[in-house]
């Protein structure tokens, strides 16, 4: 009875392995593909065998525990996998998320992808503690997983678990990393496939993702010589915070998918090197946890996604203020989520729809229920009202005209960003927007009461210098710090900052400057932008 399902699982494993290995830069890519293929088939056999020998008496839905909780079999759980009848299991308890799915902060898709199964590992990787307790009234517990079946689940290891463990055992010390690209190259083998798909991919054809980095390769320096550059100072200050280099940690969600400590590891690395961090609204660790791990005086900004229910936004802002957030960073470019095609494809190949399954005709929901589609410039005042005295930054600006409007409506800063190429495909790269600001609105540059930040595509110290030459106050990096923490925890983050500081110092000396405020457009050739 398991022959056809097992064959499908093995085929899915081979497809996933081929796709995963084909894009790998690791020298062991082909060997990894073979291991994944064999392991996927083996895992399917194990899963089938496990199910076959589970006590069938447990199908009796009337069984209850001594505490009065209904006992639910994995077979019954597996029947509730679609919208309208959606259950997930976490830590042995089964929750009905059918109604909550429509307002789930992380969106409907991830619940559908994990409906009808045990999601404990994923849940703890992407959610702060006490998340379930926070939503108890909205997410009813309908029972507990059969204890015997739960024990079997706990004892199982997947082929992916084995692959990651093998990669970690062979990982060299962090001092052998010589550039930020190394962190990405080695993190790939350390991450679950779904995590790599989430972190690394962009929207649609990934044109915006590619151009974010490519534009830096078309901007050239005009170095000056015969200058005294013996003493170089890479430090700067923005939003009242001193920083060892003009770089900060940009907000990125779900850091816990690759690093058990999640954003806490990044906080420790940022604190050790004296740079600023912005925590994502959808971080794996809470602002309270991150602040507890921070050094004395270390400041943490907090990113905000405005909710259509402004009462929820008010509560979230006030909670962040109470937790000690330094500033509020409104993300404005996610009124709906971009179609992240490569991520979808990787996940679909790993978990394909069964052969012969009819077309799903359920109405597609293109919006994102937790994000407001009715945002306006007046929201700057709304945030400021509930976070009095804190800097308010607008993130996700993709046109120079909106930089001018943000300044007009009282924002303390903007972040030129296309969300790492994950939203609107072929949205202008942030460096092009910064170039346009120089041409069309130079009056908003270098103001004491208004900062311009940039994130997206920055991978070297010279990229940082190019942005500063065009008037950026500082630049944010997201993915490189995720990858650094995935492989080496806080030491990896610290190493990444060391590399950037070295590259910035060398670049400044070769340009002929000793302070970041000496940088300007006269040091660039932008004719090929």
Strand locations in 116-275 (E): 117-118, 141-145, 220-221, 236-238, 241-243, 247-249
Q: Which residues contact 390 (CB under 8 A, 6 or more apart)?
A: 321, 325, 326, 327, 328, 384
Cα–Cα dist 433/436, whole Å: 5
| Closest among 376, 382, 378, 419 to 397, alpha carbons compared | 419
Q: Which of 58, 281, 326, 419 is catalytic?
A: 419
| Closest among 427, 359, 50 to 206, alpha carbons compared | 427
SS3 category, 448: coil
327: number of Cβ within 10 Å: 22
Return the bridge partners of 96, or none.
Answer: 87
Does 80 qualify as catalytic in the annotation?
A: no
Q: Which residues contact 430 (CB under 8 A, 6 or more apart)?
A: 212, 398, 416, 417, 418, 454, 455, 456, 457
CA distances from 6 to 3, 113, 350 (A): 5, 20, 14
Residue found under tokens 């042995």: 92
| Closest among 261, 255, 264 to 292, alpha carbons compared | 264
- Name the phi and psi angles at 158, rounded to 5: -95, 165
Is residue 132 classed exposed, middle or buried when 0-12, 13-18 and 19+ CB atoms within 10 A define those classes? middle
Rg (CA), the chain: 24
Q: Which residues are catalytic?
A: 419
């Amino acid at each position: 009875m398991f022959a056809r399902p097992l064959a499908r699982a093995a085929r899915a494993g081979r497809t996933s392995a081929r796709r995963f290995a084909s894009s790998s830069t690791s020298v062991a890519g082909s060997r990894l593909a073979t291991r994944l293929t064999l392991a996927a088939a083996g895992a399917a056999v194990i899963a089938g065998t496990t199910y076959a020998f589970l006590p069938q008496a447990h199908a009796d839905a009337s069984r209850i525990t001594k505490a009065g909780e209904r006992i639910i079999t994995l077979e019954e759980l597996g029947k509730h996998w679609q919208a309208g009848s959606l259950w997930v299991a976490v830590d042995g308890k089964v929750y009905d998320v059918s109604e909550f799915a429509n307002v789930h902060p992380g969106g409907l898709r991830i619940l559908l992808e994990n409906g009808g199964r045990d999601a404990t590992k994923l849940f703890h990787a992407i959610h702060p503690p006490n998340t379930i307790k926070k939503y108890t009234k909205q997410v009813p517990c309908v029972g507990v997983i059969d204890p015997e079946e739960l024990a079997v689940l706990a004892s199982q290891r997947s082929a992916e678990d084995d692959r990651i463990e093998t990669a970690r055992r062979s990982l060299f010390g962090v001092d052998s990393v010589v550039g930020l690209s190394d962190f990405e190259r080695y993190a790939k083998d350390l991450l679950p496939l779904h995590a790599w798909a989430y972190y690394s991919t962009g929207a649609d054809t990934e044109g915006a993702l590619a151009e974010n980095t490519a534009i830096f390769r078309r901007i050239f320096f005009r170095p000056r010589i015969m200058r005294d550059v013996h003493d170089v100072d890479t430090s700067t200050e923005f939003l009242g915070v001193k920083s060892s280099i003009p770089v900060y940690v940009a907000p990125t969600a779900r850091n816990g998918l690759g690093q058990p400590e999640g954003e806490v590891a990044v906080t420790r690395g940022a604190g050790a090197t004296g740079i600023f961090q912005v925590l994502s609204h959808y971080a794996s660790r809470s602002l309270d946890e991150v602040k507890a791990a921070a050094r004395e005086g270390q400041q943490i900004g907090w990113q905000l996604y405005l909710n259509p229910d402004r009462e929820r936004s008010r509560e979230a802002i006030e909670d962040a203020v109470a937790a000690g957030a330094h500033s509020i960073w409104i993300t404005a470019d996610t009124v709906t989520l971009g179609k992240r095609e490569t991520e979808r494809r990787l996940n679909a190949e790993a978990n394909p729809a069964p052969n012969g399954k009819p077309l799903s005709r359920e109405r597609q929901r293109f919006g994102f229920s937790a994000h407001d589609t009715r945002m306006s410039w007046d929201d700057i005042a709304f945030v400021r009202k509930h976070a009095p005295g804190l800097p308010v930054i607008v993130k996700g600006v993709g046109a120079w005209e909106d930089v001018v409007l943000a300044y007009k409506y009282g924002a303390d800063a903007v972040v030129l960003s296309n969300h790492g190429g994950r939203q609107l495909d072929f949205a202008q790269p942030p460096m092009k927007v910064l170039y346009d600001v120089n041409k069309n609105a130079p009056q908003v540059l270098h103001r004491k009461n208004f900062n311009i930040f940039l994130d997206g595509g920055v991978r070297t110290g010279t990229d940082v210098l190019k942005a500063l030459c065009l008037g950026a106050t500082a630049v944010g990096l997201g993915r490189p710090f995720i990858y650094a923490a995935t492989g080496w925890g806080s030491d990896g983050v610290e190493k990444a900052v060391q590399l950037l500081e070295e590259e910035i110092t060398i670049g400044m000396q070769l340009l002929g400057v000793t302070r970041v405020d000496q940088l300007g457009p006269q040091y660039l050739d932008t004719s090929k932008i």
